[in-house]
Structure 1
Amino acid sequence: MNKNKLTDFIYAAMFAALISVLGFLSIPLPFSPVPVTGQSLGVMLAGSILTARQANLALLTFLLLGVAGVPVFAGGTAGVGILLGPRGGYLLGFWAAAILIAFMRRQNGKLWHLAAANIAGGIGLVYILGVCWLSTVTGMPLAKAITVGALPYIPGDLFKVIIATLVGSAVARHLPGAKATS
């Protein structure tokens, strides 16, 4: 195995573990089937630090572990039922978001561009997929799904964007082949 592939697998495993651990920071909301977690921060960090390939491997690993029964989803849950339930769209959105953030950040080395990538992927794409899936699975109208599945989370997720942008930029500068942001 060449050194680059080994590095990809090591980074993917580290970020799958980080995202999993951040799932234990889970606060259920009485009005929503979607808890507040630290996992979206891990997803944004993965996209902010890793290449698109590494981010893809990290999130694919995370999702496959959860489907296989390893308790990596929010609150230590696992199983295909979680992926097919009300939270499934958010989890699949995590996968797409990490790849999108990594791709977008590589296009420009500016800090504001990384922040925009985290907003577009870490909030926008996750919310679109999550809310649409929530509405479909629960049968609730889309407006209600937005009210219970997106709006309450925006302030916290904007805070996570700031953290992921600053930490991701600082860490990425020290990785071989990473494009520094300023």
Structure 2
Amino acid sequence: MSAFVVRPAVVADAPAIARVHWASHHEVYVDTGRVARDAVEGWPMRDRILMWTANAAISSGVYPPPEGFRMMGVRVAEVDGEIVGFASTSEPRAADVSVSDVSAADPDRPRPLSLDAIYVLEAHHGSGVGQALLDASIGDRPAFLWVLDDNPRAQAFYLRNRFAPDGTEKFDEFWKVQEVRWVR
């Protein structure tokens, strides 16, 4: 397998990030029976591209986060010039709340830093791409994330990276899945 490169996302990456997002949702959720095909396919590629265009623009500083958006970070992993994975993070905006007062702004955030998404195409699982994306996105900082309660591969990955469930669960109405919050 070729070497990979992890770098900050730029706006031009949005279609490729959306493609990885779509394919990963099928590989990890639909193909395993965790999520209904209609839910994944009900989020069309056009809408995913628009979302990742906005996220990459905020992340790369093209424009500041609009009202209601958090500060974001988006990183991509490339193999031979093709994006094969991505990770996104978010934090409260400095104007919204100080890091020490995160719980006042959002009582559901046990840490200021959230790992919102990390996806790697199945062909690159086990290659180190996911670990490199996590390292580049959050390093050793305290953070939290939500993971499906029925995703042992992801849970093993987070456990290796010193995350642990904190006992908080929620049912995601859109995806129709139970999620567990992990914190470190």
What is the TM-score with the length of structure 2 in the denominator? 0.30
Higher RCO, 1 or 2 (CA under 8 Å, sep at least 6)?
A: 1
Structure with bigger helix share is 1
Structure with bigger strand share is 2
